[in-house]
Amino acid sequence: MFTRRTLLGAVAALSLMTGATGAVAQDKLYVPLISKGFQHQFWQAVKVGADKAGAELGVEVTFEGPDNESQVDKQIDMLAAALAKKPAAIGFAALDSQAAIPLLKQAQEANIPVIAFDSGVDSDIPLATASTDNLAAAALAADKMAELIGGEGKVAVVAHDQTSRTGVDRRDGFVNRIKESHPNIEVVTIEYGGGDHLKSTEITKAILTANPDIKGIFGTNEGSAIGVVNGVKESGAKVVVVGYDSGKAQKDAIREGVMAGAITQNPVGIGYETVKAAVAAAKGETVEKNIDTGFYWYDKTNIDNPEISAVLYD
């Protein structure tokens, strides 16, 4: 826990660096987190972790994101508004890893430390990134898919986007592992549904119509995976569905047998580690560049195991 003297010293130093007059609320450092969205249960769990760290460290934490994960412009506006308050540090999960760079450069020039979370930024501006190793996690999803479909056949990917680091890494992690390790499996198409379950449902039905012999579909985030489940249900197809993230709808789909299994992240850990790193950076401490918050495969066989249930969210 910070002492009053430590906090006031940090405030004074920040004011000198940034010309800030409202960087903190009285004794507390101010650390806003700008998320990729707020509608998915994943982001609610990240917020829980961020709030927990804020309470433990005695800092003011805010958490916001656009209504859905296609609203890049709205996220950029939120980032600009947060930076205008001259925070002690900021956490940012980029929807578009390129679009935010001009604002992040402004933060750097104002000596406001940036901590990326969930989705990294194609820049060396963030001092640290708290995230899942999405390439490795998606590769595990590919291995599980291969096992489930008998090592041969056609599969598809319904991804949430091709602009965020998570979207790119989960797509590439899956596709590259299939190419490298499962030569008898063909990825017939990769489609993008913006993480919206309704759009992903329609995309899935179109994939199933165009490829009646397809054996499996991978959904790269909560909204994508639920869209795949709904599309498969509505089409009456017999297809292996592998997802990413958890949340009640995915857990229900796994218990019902509609989804074979999924990758779960540790969203509470992501939020906690982001705030922890932001506070350390604001105090001038060195932070670890890549903070790996872990991932797990879960299915009917282990969904109720304590180790797994602890990182599922609903």
DSSP-derived secondary structure for 64-113? E--SSTT-HHHHHHHHHHHHHT--S-EEE--SSTTTTHHHHHHHHHTT--
Sorted by where each starts, the structural domains of the chain and their CATH numbers stand as 4-130+268-293 (3.40.50.2300), 134-264 (3.40.50.2300)
- For the stretch 103-120, pLDDT in tens is 999 999 999 999 999 987
| CB of 293 closer than 8 Å to CB of 130 | yes
Position 310 confidence tier, pLDDT thresholds 50, 70, 90: confident
**Rounded percentage of the chain residues whose pLDDT exceeds 70:** 91
- 213-251 pLDDT, tens per residue? 999 999 999 999 999 999 999 999 999 999 999 989 999
State the pLDDT at residue 22: 39
Q: Identify whether the C-beta of residue 244 lies closer than 8 Å to the C-beta of residue 221.
A: yes
User: Residue 246 and residue 244: Cα distance in Å, rounded?
Assistant: 7
Model confidence band, residue 6 (pLDDT cutoffs 50, 70, 90): very low
Burial class (CB within 10 angstroms; exposed 0-12, middle 13-18, buried 19+) of 257: exposed
Q: What average pLDDT score do residues 157-181 get?
A: 96
Q: What is the pLDDT of residue 285?
A: 97
- SS3 helix, strand, coil % of the chain, rounded to 5? 45, 20, 35
Residue 142's pLDDT is 98
Q: Check residue 67 and give left, alpha or beta (phi > 0: left; psi -120 to 50: alpha).
A: alpha
- pLDDT tens by residue, 18-70: 444 334 444 689 999 999 988 788 899 999 999 999 999 999 999 999 998 88
pLDDT in tens, 58-67: 999 999 999 9
Spell out the residues 6+ positions from residue 286 whose beta carbon is closer than 8 angstroms to its own.
280
**Rounded to 5°, angle at Cα 292 from 101 and 181:** 100
Is the model's pLDDT at 155 over the cut of 50? Answer: yes
Compute the distance between CA of residue 273 and CA of residue 298 in angstroms, rounded to an integer: 23
CA–CA distance, 92 with 149 (Å, rounded to integer): 38
Q: Is the pLDDT reported for residue 138 higher than 70?
A: yes
In this prediction, residue 1 carries a pLDDT of 39
What pLDDT score does 247 carry?
A: 86
Q: Which amino acid, one-letter code, is at 294?
A: G
**DSSP assignment string, 272-307:** HHHHHHHHHHHTT----SEEE---EEEETTTTTSHH
Q: Which SS3 state, helix, strand or coil, does residue 37 take?
A: coil
Average pLDDT, the chain: 90
> Residue 135 and residue 140: Cα distance in Å, rounded?
9
Give the mean pLDDT of 130-152: 97
pLDDT tens digit sequence for 184-195: 999 999 999 999
Q: What is the pLDDT of residue 4?
A: 36
Distance CA 59, CA 311 (A): 25
Report d(CA 191, CA 187) in Å as an integer.
Answer: 11
